[in-house]
Amino acid sequence: MCSPSSTMPSSAESASASAQTSPTTKNAMKKSVSFQSVEIAQYPMELGDNPSAEGLPLCIGWECDSKSLFQIDDYETQKPEPRRRDQFWMPAPYRVDMLQRQGVTASAMLRTTKEMKRIQKSRNRSIQNQKWDKVHLFMEESGRKMKKVTSATSLKKVASGTSLKRISSSSSTIMTAHSDPIGSSTSSLSSLSSSLGKLLPKSTSSPRLSTSGKGKSCRSRDPLDDSRKRLAVHLLQHPEDLDIGNEDCSTEELSGLKME
């Protein structure tokens, strides 16, 4: 049986051993990617629709022709050198021959050529009209501002139209009241005569009848009625002599006025 003193060194050795192995375990936990083989697929070349190309455009088809599997080490030893940039360029006649070998018809090539020219012309027009973009933007912004101004002014016109209708109706009422000065003066004369008739004493004598030379009887004029009319005309011509609206005017003052 081991003594307690002999167990302490063994525990220290195990701790130091775990401390020494910890960096290796951390490195082993790092993520890494490795390849064992390379698969190369061959796709056919077809007629494309890129309008920026000169001549007939090319594109890669969707159906795979063949696939080849290589080990990564064999591929790295046998792969060719990378091509230069000028080696990626294919002349237009070479592309036509390639498409003919792929079975593309001449009518399809003509349709693609016409469509490409149409798109190229539209793009050239867009580029030429690009200098007028600021003018078009300014016109659109000014049109929107004009719409806002016209809508605001139309609302103001509607609001002012209702107020003008009210003002016109009130003014027409006022003009109707003041449109006939002769009638108003006649009405004021009749009202003044009626008020004076109430204040002045009425004649108790019956109207006298006079006969003309032809034997016809006519009613004689009452001098009191004539005096009332003269007084009314005088007061209309000289309103400062009497204010009808003044309540302090008494009956004695009215009866003491001199008749013309």
155-174 mean pLDDT: 58
pLDDT tens digit sequence for 184-240? 445 555 555 565 555 454 444 444 444 444 444 445 555 556 666 677 766 666 666
Percent of the chain beyond pLDDT 90? 0
Tally helices (H) and strands (E) across the chain. 8, 6
Please tell me which of 28-37, 100-109, 130-139 the model is most confident about, judged by mean pLDDT: 100-109
pLDDT of residue 248 exceeding 50, the answer is: no
Contact by Cβ (8 Å): 255, 200: yes
Q: Which residue has the tokens 């050795």?
A: 13
Read off the tokens for 132: 């007028």
Read off the tokens for 211: 């006969």
Enumerate the domain spans of the chain: 37-104, 222-242+251-260
CA neighbor of 255 nearest in space, from 202, 205, 206 = 202
pLDDT of residue 258 exceeding 50, the answer is: no
Q: Give the pLDDT of residue 230.
A: 73
Contact by Cβ (8 Å): 159, 211: no
